[in-house]
Amino acid sequence: MDFIVRLGKEKDMQSVLNLITELAIFEKEPKAVEITVEDLLRDGFSENPQFKIFVAEQENNIIGIALFYERYSTWKGKTIHLEDLIVTKEKQKIGAGKALYTAVLKYAHDNNYNRVAWEVIDWNTNAVEFYKSTGATYLNDWSVVQMNKENLVKFIQNS
């Protein structure tokens, strides 16, 4: 393994944003990323951070990230949501994705979380098969529901 996995630092956030953008392009949503480096700095490194992040670093370059945050389940209690697990295309297949995934799961285990959950696009069969191979349960009978900012405003104005 010629890379390391560590907690992300403020200095990493431009590279983190670059990887988030790369993922959006891969997921066929190239214009969906609205956040900035400033948002990541404020939201990840303030007095009450909104997320934690592990980075995979190789030769002083960030090649992958796993961004996650705490949430609460009415059934399970304290849980983690893995928002994104990304390894830059040129560095896939060297084990960085599995190492980042393992770091998040170890963090959850070591800190007594009751579940780790995430979404995966169904056409990303490599990811689906990887997660299944690790013992993760694939819930194909649940759908993701979202309310974007524009529709949130419309809903509130019409309520």
Set 69, 107, 113, 131: catalytic member: 131
**Cα distance between residue 57 and residue 4, in whole Å:** 5
**Cα distance between residue 117 and residue 137, in whole Å:** 9
**Cα distance between residue 102 and residue 34, in whole Å:** 28
| Long-range pairs for 34-41: beta carbons < 8 A, 24 or more residues apart | 37/13, 40/13, 40/16, 41/10, 41/13
- Measured in degrees and rounded to the nearest 5, phi and psi for residue 135 equal 100, 0
- CB 95 within 8 Å of CB 1: yes
Strand segments, DSSP code E, in the chain are: 4-7, 52-58, 61-73, 77-87, 115-117
Q: DSSP 3-state assignment of 138?
A: coil
Specify whether 138 is catalytic: no
- Residues annotated as part of the active site: 131
